[in-house]
Structure 1
Amino acid sequence: MPIEVIGELNNDAPIWRYLSLDKFIDLLHSQSLYFAPLSSFAKSDPFEGRLPPQVEQRLLNEALSEPNACIREIKKELDERLKQATAEEREHPDIKETLKTINAQNESLISSAKATFNAFLNFRAKATSVNCWHINHYESEAMWNLYSDSGKGIAIKSSIQKLIDSVAHSKEDITLSKVHYYSDSEFNNIELGNYKQPFKRKSFEHEKEIRLMVFNASRDWFENFLKKNNSISPNTAAELDSKIEKFQEAHKIKVDLGTLIEELYISPYVGEPFNTAVKSLINTYRGSVPSLQNLPNPVESKLLNPPSIY
Structure 2
Amino acid sequence: MPVDREHPAFEQPSDLNVRVWRYMNFAKYVSFLQTQSLYLPQVKVLAQADPYEGTTTKKEFRKVESGDKIALHSQKSRLLGLSTNYVSCWHLNESESHAMWQIYSSSYSEAVCIQTTYQKLGDALPDVSGVESSHYFIGKVKYINHHIDDMPPNNVFYPIMHKLKSFQHEREIRIVYWRRNPGTGNPNMLDGYPTGILVPLNVNKTIENIIISPTAANWFSETVKNVTRKYGIDIPILQSSLVRMSYP
TM-score calculated relative to the size of structure 1 = 0.67
Aligned counterpart, 1:162: 120
Three-state SS of the structure 1 residue aligned to 2:68 is helix
Does residue 244 of structure 2 align to residue 305 of structure 1? yes
Q: Please give the residue correspondences for 1:203-218 in structure 2 after superposition, counting only pairs within 5 Å.
A: 203-217=166-180
Task: Flag the 1:22–1:185 CA change in 2: closer, same or farther, 3 A.
Answer: closer
Does residue 222 of structure 2 align to residue 276 of structure 1? yes
Does residue 11 of structure 2 align to residue 7 of structure 1? yes
Residue 248 (structure 1) shift = 4.8
Q: Please give the residue correspondences for 1:123-272 in structure 2 after superposition, counting only pairs within 5 Å.
A: 123-151=80-108, 152-171=110-129, 173-184=135-146, 187-188=149-150, 190-192=151-153, 194-197=155-158, 198-217=161-180, 221-222=184-185, 225=186, 240=187, 242-272=188-218
Q: Please give the residue correspondences for 1:41-190 in structure 2 after superposition, counting only pairs within 5 Å.
A: 41-57=46-62, 60=64, 64=68, 114=72, 118-151=75-108, 152-171=110-129, 173-184=135-146, 187-188=149-150, 190=151
Which digits, 9 at most, give the CA deviation of each residue in 1:237-269, with x for residues without a partner?
A: xxx2x4222225210011111221111100112
Aligned counterpart, 1:34: 39
Q: Distance in 1 between matches of 2:54 and 2:135?
A: 18
For the 8 Å contact 2:140–2:174, the answer to whether it is kept is: yes
Aligned counterpart, 1:289: none
Task: Flag the 1:268–1:207 CA change in 2: closer, same or farther, 3 A.
Answer: same
Q: Distance in 2 between matches of 1:301 and 1:245?
A: 42
Three-state SS of the structure 1 residue aligned to 2:231 is helix
Q: Which runs of 5+ in 1 are unaligned?
A: 67-112, 226-239, 287-291
For the 8 Å contact 2:58–2:148, the answer to whether it is kept is: no
For the 8 Å contact 1:265–1:301, the answer to whether it is kept is: yes
Aligned counterpart, 1:79: none
Residue 21 (structure 1) shift = 1.4
For the 8 Å contact 1:38–1:125, the answer to whether it is kept is: yes
Task: Flag the 1:131–1:39 CA change in 2: closer, same or farther, 3 A.
Answer: same
Q: Distance in 2 between matches of 1:262 and 1:164?
A: 14
For the 8 Å contact 1:52–1:199, the answer to whether it is kept is: no
* Greater percentage in strand: 2
Q: Distance in 1 between matches of 2:69 and 2:191?
A: 31
Asked which structure has the greater CA Rg, the reply is 1
For the 8 Å contact 1:148–1:267, the answer to whether it is kept is: no
Q: Which runs of 5+ in 2 are unaligned?
A: none
For the 8 Å contact 1:176–1:213, the answer to whether it is kept is: yes
Q: Distance in 2 between matches of 1:36 and 1:173?
A: 15
Q: Distance in 2 between matches of 1:207 and 1:243?
A: 34
Task: Flag the 1:132–1:219 CA change in 2: closer, same or farther, 3 A.
Answer: farther
- CA RMSD, 1 decimal: 2.7
Task: Flag the 1:248–1:285 CA change in 2: closer, same or farther, 3 A.
Answer: closer
Percent of aligned positions with the same letter in both sequences? 25
**Aligned length in residues:** 236
* Greater percentage in helix: 1
Three-state SS of the structure 2 residue aligned to 1:243 is helix
Q: Distance in 2 between matches of 1:41 and 1:147?
A: 14
Which digits, 9 at most, give the CA deviation of each residue in 1:278-304, with x for residues without a partner?
A: 111222223xxxxx4xx2221111314
Which digits, 9 at most, give the CA deviation of each residue in 1:52-103, with x for residues without a partner?
A: 3334545x4896258xxxxxxxxxxxxxxxxxxxxxxxxxxxxxxxxxxxxx
Q: Distance in 1 between matches of 2:96 and 2:236?
A: 17
